[in-house]
Amino acid sequence: MEVKEIRLQADELELGGELHIPSGDKVHPALCICHGIPATPPDPTDKGYTLLARRFCQAGFVTLIFNFRGTGKSQGNLDILGWSRDLRAALDFLYSLEETDKARICLLGFSGGAAVSVYVAAHDPRVSSVVTCACPADFRSLPQRETPLDTIQRFRQIGAIRDKDFPPSIEEWQRGFETISPINWVDKISPRPLLLVHGDADELIPLEHARRLYQKAKEPKELKIIPGAKHKMRLEKAAMDFVVAWLKSRC
């Protein structure tokens, strides 16, 4: 495979990413992997998503991983509606590649990245299938451990909000999470296939969220519950084995 460092542009921000291209000259299905909302400062030694991209590339997918604004090497501040525009920029990039089969562009999202994936797929017909892992149905019904101001302060401490005057409105910033909430959009993915993957031991997002999304979604849809799996689904071998097989069978 070939691995390239790439830069995306969204709202005049530069976003860092990696593109993994399978060997051979033919076109391939494409996959964009979307990470979740950070809980800790970035760890430059963590190669988890690179290893995941390599695995899907070996399975035959042109695979893109990138950092949403406010995370990793990307510019900007964490803003969930801004993340949706970042993902659209990533889709534009994948769609432009000569190696990409334009009819087979898939999304694989984790937690907050899964929420954004549902929202974008509901609005962008270029997405051919969606896989969510540990996806919240909405953000309002999650256990409330802190106020919005506390959340913003925590994001400042871990480097996800970098500008002193951001956000200009806490209320609008918070409303972005309500707008993105997957329960409002998951039924718009049909007739494209949807796979919801969730661990029954998820310590952050209760399994009930996956059940609510599955109930609201339209066919074709599938809910895969991973026994004993916690929130970090990318570390769960059984979950990723299932996702690889599911995507290969549909692409």
Calculate ∠ Cα 219-209-212, nearest 5°: 40
Residue 152 pLDDT class (50, 70, 90 cuts): very high
Nearest Cα to 102, choosing from 62, 56, 53, 58? 62
Report the percentage of the chain scoring pLDDT > 70.
98
Residue 141 pLDDT class (50, 70, 90 cuts): confident
* pLDDT of residue 14 exceeding 80: yes
Higher pLDDT: 138 or 143? It is: 138
Q: Which tens digits make up the pLDDT trace of 22-32? A: 998 789 999 99
Q: Which long-range contacts (CB under 8 A, 24 or more apart) does 47-55 make?
A: 48/234, 48/235, 49/234, 50/18, 52/234, 52/240, 53/18, 53/20, 54/1, 54/3, 54/20, 55/240, 55/244
Q: What is the CA radius of gyration of the chain?
A: 17
* DSSP designation for 9: E
Domains, in order of start, for the chain: 2-250 (3.40.50.1820)
Residue 153's SS3 state is helix
pTM: 0.96
Q: Which tens digits make up the pLDDT trace of 80-121? A: 999 999 999 999 999 999 999 999 999 999 999 999 999 999
**Average pLDDT, stretch 9-27?**
95
* pLDDT of residue 197 exceeding 90: yes
Mean pLDDT over the full length of the chain? 95
Report the percentage of the chain scoring pLDDT > 90.
89
Is-contact 30 56, C-beta < 8 A? no
pLDDT the model gives residue 24: 85
From CA 133, how far away is CA 231, in angstroms rounded?
Answer: 8
pLDDT the model gives residue 182: 98
pLDDT the model gives residue 99: 95
Those residues whose C-beta lies under 8 Å from the C-beta of residue 8, and which sit 6 or more positions away, are: 14, 15, 16, 17, 66, 86, 89, 90, 93
pLDDT the model gives residue 143: 66
Within 13 A of 230's CA, how many CA atoms are on the CB side?
4
Cross-strand partners of 62? 30
